[in-house]
């Protein structure tokens, strides 16, 4: 997996991701997004707060959360975005921690 960045244990990871629906960035959805971080053993590790920061004035529709892994291995992040009429759930990414 030489093409992947490995994060370090006990070092905070800031994860940013866009929320795109129907080809457009979706803004104002931080309250409808639930992120769950699973540790190297597959157990639920954290449900960090998701925010929508202003990144140089153009960050709308880009969300972020932070977590600090405490062990080496493959960590997985899932996201659920729910509104009154729609629920979407998917894996954002699995990431190596060393």
What CATH number is associated with residue 39? 2.60.40
Total domains, the chain: 1
Specify whether the CB–CB gap between 52 and 28 falls below 8 A: yes
Sign of the Cα torsion 7, 75, 44, 88 reads: positive
Q: Evaluate whether residue 82 is within a structural domain.
A: yes
Q: Evaluate whether residue 42 is within a structural domain.
A: yes
**Looking at residue 66, what is its pLDDT?**
94
DSSP string, 17-62: EE-EETTEE--S-GGGEEEEEE-TTS-EEE-PPPB---STT--TTE
**Looking at residue 2, what is its pLDDT?**
47
Range of the domain at 36: 13-97
Specify the pTM: 0.76
One pLDDT digit (tens) per residue for the chain, 98 residues = 445 667 889 999 998 888 887 788 888 888 888 899 999 899 999 999 999 987 665 558 888 999 999 999 888 888 888 875 565 555 556 667 77
Q: Evaluate whether residue 3 is within a structural domain.
A: no
Residue with the two structure tokens 């990431």: 95
Specify whether the CB–CB gap between 20 and 62 falls below 8 A: no
Q: Evaluate whether residue 30 is within a structural domain.
A: yes
Q: Evaluate whether residue 2 is within a structural domain.
A: no
């Amino acid at each position: 997996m030489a093409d992947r960045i490995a994060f370090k244990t006990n070092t905070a990871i800031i994860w940013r991701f866009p929320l795109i629906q129907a080809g457009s960035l979706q803004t104002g959805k931080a309250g409808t997004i639930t992120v769950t971080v699973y540790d190297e053993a597959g157990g639920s590790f954290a449900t960090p707060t998701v925010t929508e920061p202003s990144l140089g004035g153009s960050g709308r529709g880009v969300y972020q959360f932070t977590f600090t892994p405490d062990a080496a291995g493959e960590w997985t992040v899932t996201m659920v975005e729910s509104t009154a009429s729609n629920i979407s759930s998917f894996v954002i990414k699995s990431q190596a921690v060393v």
